[in-house]
Amino acid sequence: MNVEFQNHGFLTTAALADHARRRLHDVMTHRSEFIQRIVVRLGGTNNRRGHCDMHCLIQVHLSDAFMATVVDIGPDIHDVINRATDRLGRAVVAHLDQAHRDRRNIGSGTITRPRPDRRDRLRQARRKRTSAATTLRSGDQKEHT
């Protein structure tokens, strides 16, 4: 996996970059053939109250032109990286599973429709009975005139 680090107002140490690489490898290793590159942006923000929060923005570029972006903010940079990588892993897995289902349905030539619930089936049966009764009545009227 091609992992690129960028820092914004924050010094990224080798240990921090190694931690992020290990977390990304753990989360993305089973889907690595679909990943083109990963960009990790680490930074610090000072808010009005004087708290220094760290943020982590991770973008993953997949082979099917999909780009997932996850942002997380918190006081501890290691926890922020852990949460962001976990969320990114779930997003990528969900996207790839959906893409796989779409490809499977398109390839089979069948269009999958949701199964109608009981009320829909009852409505359809009622319409058929009503239309059949209407045609019988109109046919009867034509014969009598």
Q: What is the pLDDT of residue 70?
A: 94
Q: What is the pLDDT of residue 103?
A: 66
Residue-number span of the structural domain to which 141 is assigned: 116-145
Half-sphere exposure of 90 (CA within 13 A, CB side): 6
Same domain for 134 and 92, yes or no, is: no
Same domain for 58 and 124, yes or no, is: no
pLDDT: which is higher, 62 or 124: 62
Q: What is the pLDDT of residue 139?
A: 55
> Rounded to whole angstroms, how far apart are CA atoms 56 and 81?
6
pLDDT: which is higher, 135 or 101: 101
Same domain for 49 and 103, yes or no, is: yes
Domain count, the chain: 2
The per-residue pLDDT of the chain, averaged, comes to 79
Phi, psi of 67 (to 5 degrees): -125, 120
Tell me how far CA of residue 41 lies from CA of 8, 90, 103, in angstroms: 7, 19, 33
Closest CA to 55 of 69, 71, 34, 38: 71
Same domain for 91 and 24, yes or no, is: yes
Same domain for 7 and 61, yes or no, is: yes
Q: How confident is the model at residue 81 (pLDDT cuts 50, 70, 90)?
A: very high
Query: SS3 for 3?
Result: strand
pLDDT tens string 36-77: 899 999 988 776 676 778 899 999 998 877 888 999 999 889
Lowest mean pLDDT among 12-21, 48-57, 66-75, 106-115: 106-115
**pTM exceeds cut of 0.75:** no
Same domain for 94 and 130, yes or no, is: no
Q: Which CATH number belongs to the domain containing residue 99 in this structure? A: 3.30.160.100
12 has a pLDDT exceeding 90: no
The strand ranges marked E within 65-134 are: 67-74
